[in-house]
Each structure stands twice: as structure tokens, then as C-alpha cells.
Structure 1
């Protein structure tokens, strides 16, 4: 297996203002209080939250003289609003999200998680494992999903890894559009990967470059396996908070400047637009930004060409999701065995002759 490592440096060197974010400031924030309230109830339902949200929580670093102890302690890392990780009775890790009962997010999530849609091989939408009704709350519920990893935190190493991601996501977008669902935020942080193969040692849900115990200091190195060495990998599309399902596919119009990527030319709060080509643009722009992070080669050049077609300023000239899926399959056949195995290099790392020589000799240029 190929492994990569990240050696964490002092948090102050990572841009943290330690004078303003002292260990005492690792206290619970208002949006976290709900998890303390729900801790006993969720435990009775088979979901154990982290020690940070136990009603009698005492910070693990309280007696530690190291002023940075809170920053590399498991219970010193905050979750995000409306999200929390938990452990089920069977030991599996899950993510709980608080959503409105009447929201499209809940309805669409349940729809794509139900049969026969869940059996469609193109469907890589995050499955909803359970819906937990909150006591004395008539407006919100908790959806339970598998714990996934934001893959953008790890580099790609071969052209075939980029193809694998593109093929899966294009087929999923095709699946969504066939079922008249516009995602409307098909962007970087809504694309995740199953961590069981690529991160066999686990990770901290809220500190993605730390091991499960949150210790990200000079004595700990975060390890992962290359995507190529554990292929096939499974990607997932998450967050249907901005998504909409329509009664038809043609003639649909929407409004709103939404999502992570607001560079879509037609996006407007005033002039209606077709949301399906917008999905293709956002997906294509995500791919282009990924490809720009690597030195050009034959494989990346052909992928970039497809990304540019997907981001055409004229929505009518963009390929459909189905056409994009077909093109990814065609490119995979065109590149062939050796083209897919070709090494790629981050553009922010000098590509020296010594690196190239070591690749020829079959040696890793990454730390062991």
C-alpha cells in the first residue's frame, strides 16, 4: 500500500491566533448546547455522542500544564452547527444532522435512500440510515448518515484517481437529473469519500488531518493510503439542503444565488434560470479547480477540456449530465492502462529531476 503522511506543526504556525483562542475558550458554544440536552435521549436510542457533550463533561486538558493541550485533545474540537458525530451500539461511526421536518432536504434524502432508487448503481447519494424524532419538537428531526470524509483534504496521485471520481459523480448527477432532482450545490465540500479503505486508522470528524483522538502535534503523524492502492473507492454526494425535486425535467425554472460556487453566469435572484445546467457548471468548475492544482500532462489536459465544456457561459451549450457521464467513460478507455496509472504532481510542489528519477525507479517521493 502507498501511504502519505502529514506532520502537524504548532497551531500558532497554522494561522491560529493563540492569544485569542486559549484553552479556556474551547468551552461549548451556544449551537453545541442542544447536543448536551439530547445526550441521554440519543444514548437511549443507541447513539453515543463524544465526551464533549456529556452533561457532566470535564475538559480532558483541565489539569494539563501545556497551554496547547486543548488543541490536540479529542474533546477540544468543536462540531459544526446542526451536525454532530456519534457512535452506534455496534461500534460504527455516524453523523447526525438536524433538519426541518418539512424540508426538501429530508424528503429528497429519504427518496433517494428508498428502494428501488437505492439499488441503482449510479446512486452515490449519502444514505439516510435512520430518522430520529426530537422529543417535544414538532419542527425538526435528526437524520443519521454514515461518517464520511471530505476527500479534498487529501491529494490525488494518479490520473486514474481523477477519472474514478469524475465517473462516479457524473453518473450520480445523471441519476439525480433523471429523477428530476437539481442538487444546486454540487461543489467541493458536498463531495465525500468512504474513509474505510483510504483512512484505515480513522480520523477526527471535526479535524480532518488528525487521528481519531485529535492529537495533532509533532509526535503524531496522520496517515492515509493512496486512492490508487485501495481502488475502487466509493464517493458520496451529501447535503440536499438547497436541492429541489420537480414534477418534470423540461421547462423548469428556478431563482436564487445559492451554494458554494456563485460564479455560475446565469445564477440570479431576479431572472429565472434552468437549475439542471447549473449543476453541470458547478460540477465542471469543481473539476477544473481540482485539475489546476496539478502539473499538466496528457491525462489532465483531456480532463480539463471536458471541464471547460461543462462551464460554458451559455447553459444551452453545456453537455447534459448524461453526456458528461458518457464522456468520462470514453476518456477512461482512451487513456488506457498506462495513461490511468500516470503519476500527477501538485503544482505547488517543485517537480524536480530527482523526483522524476525516483518515480522511474519505483520509489515514493512522499514520506514513508
Structure 2
């Protein structure tokens, strides 16, 4: 889920997102590079709160939408386990399925994602390690790589459409460069 307020300062209509909220014109919007936004990963009611002073939590698995969690397979679905490595798996698998398998241009994430989806939950990095490694990976990428166009693999892109999208992306990127915008913008806290 994304907080749309930075990119759509006057919001948009919920059923026609190209129209403004009162439906009296087009919705003014900015790119996420010009106006960084926050993203939220939501589990819709499967969350629990733990006191760190109580030590490592152990819970009987609650199966969410992703049924591929290795520790939940077979008899594992009845064994209490630490839910935090499972969260790492969910996040890694979402990145793998929605980005690595469906787009071109984010292959640099593969080693981190592979560690996040290891079969053995004890071998998965914790969230602090994931954040540290992600920042380390992105720090090593060039500005042009960070600004490159994400290409959806399954979407049939006709040559003319590809050229037009590439030209549009080039000019948009060029404007961001001229305005000295960070290629990996951070939202305000």
C-alpha cells in the first residue's frame, strides 16, 4: 500500500484515479522521484504484538495469502515457530514473485532475496540485516542504474510503444537530473 498524498497533493477520485477528488478536473500528480512517498506492507489482521523482553516469540503458524512458506509445509503447520523469519520469507517471496520474476532491471536484488527465502528459517537474515544489505546494494549502483526504466516482462511491448516509453522516460529522467533530484529519494519522516 502506498501513501498517495505526496504524489497526489489534492488527492484523486477513488473510482477514477485520473480525476480529482471532486470529479471537476484532472488529478494533479507528481512522480515518486519528485515527491517520495511511503509504502506500507499490510497483513490485514494477521499481525500480533510481542514484548521484546519476553524473548523470542513462538506461535502456531497463521497461514496468510502466501502458502509457500517452507516451515508451514507438512506437519510444520502445527509446530510453533518464530514468526519473524516467516515475515522475512513473505517479504522476500513478494519481491521475487512481483519484481524479479516479472520485470527486468532489478536483478541486483537476487542475492538478498535468495537469502530471504531460504528453506531454513534460521538461515534467513533478520530485518535489520535486510535493511543494511539493501542500503549497501543500492549504494553501489550507479545513478543511471537507479534511474533506469523498469520493464515488465509479460507485457507485450510493441517496438513503437517501447521507443515512445523510452523517450518519455529519458526526458523525465533528464528533468530529474537537471533538478538535482536524488535517484533513490527518501520520503520525509
TM-score w.r.t. length of structure 1? 0.39
Per-residue deviation, 1:213: 5.2
2:142 aligned residue: 336
Per-residue deviation, 1:316: 1.2
CA distance in 1, matches of 2:171, 2:146: 18
CA distance in 2, matches of 1:293, 1:214: 39
2:7 aligned residue: 198
Higher strand share: 1
If you compute each CA radius of gyration, which structure gives the higher value, 1 or 2? 1
2:82 aligned residue: 274
What SS does the aligned partner of 2:62 have?
Answer: coil
What SS does the aligned partner of 2:64 have?
Answer: coil
Per-residue deviation, 1:269: 4.2
The CA deviation string for residues 100-156 of structure 1, in whole angstroms up to 9 with x for no partner, is xxxxxxxxxxxxxxxxxxxxxxxxxxxxxxxxxxxxxxxxxxxxxxxxxxxxxxxxx
Of the three residues 244, 253, 262, the one matched with 2:58 is: 253
1:347 aligned residue: 153
2:175 aligned residue: none
TM-score w.r.t. length of structure 2? 0.69
2:33 aligned residue: 228
Is the Cα–Cα contact under 8 Å of residues 92 and 116 in structure 2 kept in the other structure? Answer: yes
Asked if 1:316 is matched to 2:122, the reply is yes
Of the three residues 291, 294, 303, the one matched with 2:99 is: 291
Higher helix share: 2
* Ranges in structure 2 where 5+ consecutive residues have no aligned partner: 173-189
The CA deviation string for residues 147-200 of structure 1, in whole angstroms up to 9 with x for no partner, is xxxxxxxxxxxxxxxxxxxxxxxxxxxxxxxxxxxxxxxxxxxxx222112223
* Ranges in structure 1 where 5+ consecutive residues have no aligned partner: 1-191
Is the Cα–Cα contact under 8 Å of residues 284 and 310 in structure 1 kept in the other structure? Answer: yes
Is the Cα–Cα contact under 8 Å of residues 294 and 346 in structure 1 kept in the other structure? Answer: yes
What SS does the aligned partner of 1:304 have?
Answer: helix
Is the Cα–Cα contact under 8 Å of residues 194 and 234 in structure 1 kept in the other structure? Answer: yes
